[in-house]
Chains A and B, each alone.
Chain A
Amino acid sequence: MFSEQAAQRAHTLLSPPSASNATFARVPVSSYTNSSQPFRLGERSFSRQYAHIYATRLLQMRPFLVSRARQRWGDGVQVKKLCELQPGEQCCVVGTLFKAMPLQPSILREISEEHNLLPQPPRSKYIHPDDELVLEDELQRIRLEGNVDASRLVTGTVLAVLGSARDSGKFVVEDHCFAELAPQKPAPTLDIDRFVLLVSGLGLGGGGGESLLGTQLLVDVVTGQLGDEGEQCSAAHVSRVILAGNLLSHNTQSRDSINKAKYLTKKTQAASVEAVRMLDEILLQLSASVPVDVMPGEFDPTNYTLPQQPLHRCMFPLATAYATLQLVTNPYQATIEGVRFLGTSGQNVSDIFRYSSMEDHLEILEWTLRVRHISPTAPDTLGCYPFYKTDPFIFPECPHVYFCGNTPEFGSKIFRGPEDQRVLLVAVPDFSATQTACLVNLRSLACQPISFSGFGAEDEDLGGLGLGP
């Protein structure tokens, strides 16, 4: 891995100055294609209803589910539509799931005066034992009961259920299955180690001085200023850096200025202005040395609905001078050195976290892969553009590296699919909290966390370094 390779060279820096100092050339980009075209929006019209996105989602996913159902329950299983259901007959139905959650924030309930409800405080999870599942297809819907765990499923998932309809009008489920992984092209074999650095949640403008040093150390490692020759040589093998969202901190949103009177906030500058300036400087340092892809995140100045459009280049006057800087969408899809990357800034995973009982972000990431949909909860609880022709969040093919940013902690796993697909799942942690980034080795498809730390007055036991006793 990175460290071992770095340690192979002799230590030269604890010695008097030598005559010459090695300079390493950054590994050249041999192949890179940005395949995020489906996530770019041209003319945007919001005059459409969101029902179309569900219709097209079901339409696109139906064939996958039918084939999976046949694989799982045998070819003889009858796949029926809800309108064709006969009571008591076992069959398989394909439809979109809807979870009726009493705790789900509903704007209509909030503003309704007859209920006299106070606005609900935000919770970390909105699940409740009383949640009910409803399966909808093109024409009808039916309540689901039985061997299906409502807490693990979320609205918008397309799945196939095997069971039978009862006279009571409910469908009793015996088994269910998802679309599972899409087909995957084989990963290329590389001869030398190449790394891609994944960072998310830089959180600039947040006011925390500690993370700034960590960010600076990160930049220094990647640009080859820090470390001994071995480490610098390894750093030269970092062929790309992907910043996966939340470059600005939550604090820059300055929501409080909305509530203040205009005369108080007239001359105050938005917190994001200074933060973007800092970001520009960091991006300048990075892009002067390595190709960078910048994805927007939840707190970044771009549109709220998924897919988030790239940040505008006018915000980065210094850094856009370099062609190595690329401003990309969220979700982001690209083929780097033949390895397919797909990732988001974490809004999809955190939304599923809120509406299901799954705790581990990596587990949720894996689940979205199995469901073959990046964010099934869009547009129900996650803002989304009203697509009508296609749903771009369905996996057309399986990536080699699938990541999501801004998770509370680092996680990485190799997931194997039914057709021998091999996916590296990476949960990129929030840098401002954990000072940790991820190094993905393209040759071995393994991921190593890399963390940075300074020292503080309270560090007696090296606790800050995570090297405690």
Chain B
Amino acid sequence: MADQLYLENIDEFVTDQNKIVTYKWLSYTLGVHVNQAKQMLYDYVERKRKENSGAQLHVTYLVSGSLIQNGHSCHKVAVVREDKLEAVKSKLAVTASIHVYSIQKAMLKDSGPLFNTDYDILKSNLQNCSKFSAIQCAAAVPRAAVESSSSEKFEQSNLQVSSETPANNELTTNGHSPPTSKQIFQQPKGIMGMFASKAASKTQDANKETKTETKEVTNVSSAGNKASGKGNVMSNFFGKAAMNKLKVNLDSEQAVKEEKIVEQPPVSVTEPKLAAPTGLKKSSKKAEPVKMQQKEKKRGKRVELSDDETKETENMKKKRRRIKLPESDSSEDEVILDSPGDYEAESPSPPPPPPSPPPEPVQKTEPEPPPVKSSSGEKRKRKRVLKSKTFVDEEGCIVTEKVYESESCTDSEEELKMKTSSVHRPSTMTVKKEPKEERKGPKKGTAALGKANRQVSITGFFQRK
């Protein structure tokens, strides 16, 4: 009975649905070998014609063979209507194959619809287009889908990277495994391992909060890396200084988890950042001049991302995956500002006070930021404060520079400062700045407010850059 099934199917397709049934279409639809589909079509035609000679059935055939033309023996492959079949056959010197190409109810004027039918069924079966073919090629093994993306130059988003990791692991025999993905994933680990040991010794702040915060950030930033062990490693070297750098970097470059080898960030030891090592490098070099811009950028970002504050850690993590660190940045800030309670629970990374010393040699090394946050919930944060530093540089000149320094202060202080600033600052600039400050992280806010508190006068705004 199974034999008869296909006859009924074809009958249905041709007569009821008025379809053009090509052998290829039938092969994909019924899931049979192409040759079998051709034979089925032939069988159907024969039977139908036998039982009902007046059947409305138009058949096209494929004829192929050789023909002497212009002195060459040319191999011809042609789709012909039934009425021309014999004529074509007679012209060919050698007939290589004849089979039914398609069956349809209506007479076809030209072969366009045949192509369309084949094209449509092919489109829906692109991935296994040679499944029912008579030739199987051993060499045609599809590479993992990942490989095309992995061979791109380290321009990938974290998401992509995360999708690659599992795919990499599943790679099988094909010699053309994604070239560097695997290695690259190993390398960061290796380098991070390096950093871990280094960082362990060099991490200045042993404060757990920082660690937990950084861990969060690390987890976020290393979201792509499914290596869970990494979280610990990364947290070790994600010091406050590094956090600042991270933010700075992330603002300047959205390069998330690069597969680039983590290059040694030039100066700061605590800077190893897996996510954007080159970003770090760059940013460290131009940290100072860029800082201001980045702060501006960060402000903008914080404004946009103010909605994130209430998200759960996981959500934050997810968000962080997409936009990596800048987000974690702002969300942390939000949390700190608005919900002290959440702060502990979520333990977002504290807005890393601009790591003080961008590795400018001229600057004095900043004193180690005091343990900013105790896990007790007291909102102590390191704020970046704009301060003037006067010193004698190598040429013997007295240089005064305005630098951002980490200064620790508590949240309450901050709030106070903000309030007082609103009172004291008469200039419009400060008024405008207020909402920004409120929404921004404590970093800038505190810095500005700190200044505002210290020097309350009309010229106060000159100090803010």
Binding site for B on A (CB under 8 A): 1-4, 6-7, 11-18, 21-26, 28-29, 209, 212-213, 216-217, 220-221, 223-232, 234-236, 281, 284-285, 287-291, 313-314, 317-318, 320-324, 410, 412, 436, 439, 448-457, 459, 462, 465-467
Do A216 and B35 form a contact, CB below 8 Å, given A3-B96, A227-B99?
A: no
B364 contacts chain A at the CB level, 8 A cutoff: no
Contact residues in B for A230 (Cβ distance below 8 Å): 96-97
Within the assembled complex, what's the spacing in Å between the Cα atoms of A289 and B135?
A: 7
Decide yes or no whether B454 CB sits under 8 A from chain A: no
Assess the A321–B148 pair: CB atoms within 8 A: yes
Q: Using an 8 Å CB-CB cutoff, how does the interface string of B173-215 with A read, 1 for contact, 0 for none?
A: 0111000000000000000000000000000000000000000
CA distance A306 to B60 in the complex (A): 45
A466 touching B69 by the CB < 8 A rule? yes
- Please choose the segment from B121-129, B164-172, B379-387 that sits at the chain A interface, where 4 or more of its residues have CB less than 8 A away: B121-129
| B227, CB-defined interface residue at 8 Å | no
Q: A220 contacts which chain B residues (CB < 8 A)? A: 24
> Contact: A21 with B91, CB < 8 Å?
no
Shortest Cβ distance from B181 into chain A, in angstroms? 16
A454 to B6, CA, bound (A): 27
**In the complex, B15 has a CB within 8 A of chain A:** no
Provide the residues of chain B in CB contact with A7, threshold 8 Å: 65-66, 94-96
20 A–B contacts from the bound complex (CB under 8 Å) = A7-B65, A7-B66, A7-B94, A23-B33, A209-B115, A236-B135, A285-B130, A288-B142, A318-B126, A323-B174, A448-B72, A451-B76, A452-B78, A453-B76, A454-B79, A456-B110, A462-B88, A466-B69, A466-B76, A467-B76
| Apart from A4-B66, A24-B135, A212-B115: 11 A-B pairs, beta carbons within 8 A | A1-B66, A3-B94, A26-B135, A284-B126, A289-B130, A289-B136, A323-B140, A449-B72, A454-B115, A466-B67, A466-B76
CB distance from A444 to the nearest CB of B (A): 12
**Which of chain B's residues have a CB closer than 8 A to the CB of A455?**
60, 78-81, 84, 110-111
**Residue from B23, B77, B145 in contact with A452 in the complex, judged by beta carbons closer than 8 Å:** B77
A288 to B67, CA, bound (A): 30
> Can you name the residue of chain B whose Cβ is closest to the Cβ of A14?
B42
Chain A residues with CB under 8 A of B142: 288, 321-322
B35 close to A21 (CB less than 8 A): yes
The verdict on B290 contacting chain A, using a C-beta distance below 8 Å, is no
B135 partner residues in chain A, CB cutoff 8 A: 23-26, 223-224, 232, 235-236, 289-290
Of all chain B residues, the one with the shortest Cβ separation from A209 is: B112
Nearest CB of chain B from residue A429's CB, rounded to whole Å: 11
Q: How far is the CB of A22 from chain B (nearest CB, A)?
A: 7
- The distance from the CB of A29 to the nearest CB of chain B, in whole angstroms, is 6
- Closest partner residue, chain B, to A235 (CB atom): B135
Collect the chain B residues with CB atoms within 8 Å of residue A4's CB.
66, 94
Interface residues on B, range: 35 or more
Q: Is the CB of B138 within 8 A of A25?
A: yes
- Give A46 to B141 CA distance when docked, in angstroms: 40
B75-A228 in contact (CB<8A): no
Count, A-B residue pairs, CB within 8 A = 255
Q: Mark B85-112, 1 if CB is under 8 A from A, else 0.
A: 0011001001111111000000001111
Whether B39 contacts A13 by the Cβ 8 Å rule is yes
Q: Which of B39, B88, B118, B174 contacts A18 (CB 8 A)?
A: B39
Please indicate the chain B residues that have their CB under 8 angstroms from the CB of A320 in the complex: 148
B397 vs chain A, min Cβ distance (A): 44
Q: Is B40 an interface residue (CB 8 A)?
A: yes
A358 to B174, CA, bound (A): 49
CA distance A191 to B443 in the complex (A): 79
Measured in the bound complex, the distance between the Cα atoms of B134 and A228 in whole Å is 10
- B352 → A minimal CB distance (Å): 38
Give 1 or 0 for each of B121-159: 1 = CB within 8 Å of chain A CB. Answer: 011001001101111111111110101100000000000
List of B residues within 8 angstroms of A209 by Cβ: 112, 115
Residues of chain B within 8 A of A213, CB atoms compared: 79, 111-112, 114-115
A466 cross-chain contacts in B, Cβ below 8 A:
67, 69, 74, 76
* A221-B69 contact, Cβ under 8 Å, with A16-B39, A228-B99, A321-B143: no
What's the minimum C-beta distance from A305 to chain B, rounded to whole angstroms? Answer: 25
B72 touches A412 (CB 8 A): yes
Query: Using Cβ atoms and an 8 Å threshold, which residues of chain B touch A24?
Result: 134-136
State whether A13 touches B97 (Cβ < 8 A). Answer: yes
* Chain B contacts for A287, CB-based, 8 A: 140
Chain A neighbourhood of B66, CB < 8 A: 1-4, 7
Residues of A within 8 A of B174 (CB): 323
**When the two chains form the complex, which single residue of A2, A17, A26, A456 contacts B39, counting CB atoms closer than 8 Å?**
A17
In contact, B67 and A228 (Cβ under 8 angstroms): no
Given B73, B97, B148, which contacts A228 in the complex, CB threshold below 8 Å? Answer: B97
B37 → chain A closest CB, angstroms: 9
In whole Å, how far is B349's beta carbon from the nearest beta carbon of chain A? 37
Give 1 or 0 for each of B314-344: 1 = CB within 8 Å of chain A CB: 0000000000000000000000000000000
User: Complex Cα distance A228/B96, Å?
Assistant: 7
Taken together as a complex, chains A and B put the C-alpha atoms of A212 and B141 apart, in Å, by 27
Contact A231 B112 (CB under 8 A): no
Cα distance, A350 to B260, chains bound together (Å) = 46
CB distance from B463 to the nearest CB of A (A): 47
A403 smallest CB distance to B (angstroms): 15
Separation in Å of the A94 CB from the closest CB of chain B?
39
Q: Is the CB of B111 within 8 A of A225?
A: no
Given A322-B142, A455-B81, CB of A289 within 8 Å of CB of B95: no
B119 at the interface (CB under 8 A from A): yes
A45 to chain B, nearest CB (A): 22
- Tell me how far the C-beta of A223 lies from the nearest C-beta in chain B, rounded to whole angstroms: 5
Chain B residues with CB under 8 A of A452 = 76-78
State whether A289 touches B91 (Cβ < 8 A): no
Residues of B within 8 A of A1 (CB): 66, 73, 75
Closest 6 pairs (CB-CB, A-B): A454-B111, A224-B135, A228-B97, A3-B66, A13-B99, A6-B96
